[in-house]
Amino acid sequence: MGIERAIGRIIINSLIPQGLGSNAIIRILIERGASYRRTDMLSDIREAGGLMRYEASIRDLSPGTVVPKSWMTELELKAPYQYRVFGEAQMIDMNTGEAVTKRVSFYTDRLSSVGAWEDDFIEAFEGSYGEENTGIMSFKVAGLQHNAGYEY
């Protein structure tokens, strides 16, 4: 991914909650020098908008609840999995004791409850995903993408 697109995605994520349309977001990207191929910009806007549209509702789900299909963002994922689960991880730097919140994601083929996915992430983080000298305190599911063309 080019630097323009990486910067563009950051800007898009900050503009989506303001309720701006695609054309307004693209104009802002151009003004800020972060424009890239229009079809890619539109794809990034749709992806960010779909994830954020149901984020509050997904965060409010009880641990035993499965995310409804209508709340999943449908698109072609870059990895051969059925789902990409997004969330916020509360981490702690073991050297400094500083707590940090990070937006993270993982791929899976298993449709699970949000609580099971949260447990899966914590387990994977402690096993091999974790950063050196960083511990995981919690993970909260915030969004879900479904790979178009795959079964649920």
Instruction: Dump pLDDT digits (tens) for 40-62.
Output: 998 888 878 776 778 889 999 99
For position 115, what pLDDT does the model report? 97
Q: Which distant-in-sequence residues (6+ apart) come within 8 Å of 110 by Cβ?
A: 82, 83
Determine contact, residues 136/122, Cβ cutoff 8 Å. yes
Residue after which a domain boundary falls, among 33, 53, 73: 53
Residue after which a domain boundary falls, among 35, 53, 71: 53
Say if pTM beats, i.e. exceeds, 0.75: no
- The total domain count for the chain is 2
Q: Are residues 88 and 135 in the same domain?
A: yes
With both helix axes pointing from N to C terminus, report the angle between 22-31 and 3-15 in degrees, rounded to the nearest 10: 130
Confidence of residue 104 (pLDDT cuts 50, 70, 90): confident
**More confident site: 147 or 51:** 147
Q: Calculate the average pLDDT of the chain.
A: 88
The span from the CA of 107 to the CA of 120, in Å, is 11
Q: Which helix (H) or strand (E) holds 86?
A: strand 83-93
Q: Which distant-in-sequence residues (6+ apart) come within 8 Å of 124 by Cβ?
A: 106
Q: What's the domain range around 48?
A: 3-53
The span from the CA of 77 to the CA of 145, in Å, is 8
Q: Are residues 71 and 43 in the same domain?
A: no
Q: What does the angle CA 146 – CA 79 – CA 115 come to, to the nearest 5 degrees?
A: 50
The span from the CA of 98 to the CA of 53, in Å, is 31
Q: Are residues 140 and 76 in the same domain?
A: yes
The span from the CA of 28 to the CA of 11, in Å, is 9
Q: Are residues 68 and 122 in the same domain?
A: yes
For position 1, what pLDDT does the model report? 65
CA pseudo-torsion sign 12, 86, 58, 40: positive
Structure tokens at 48: 């960010």
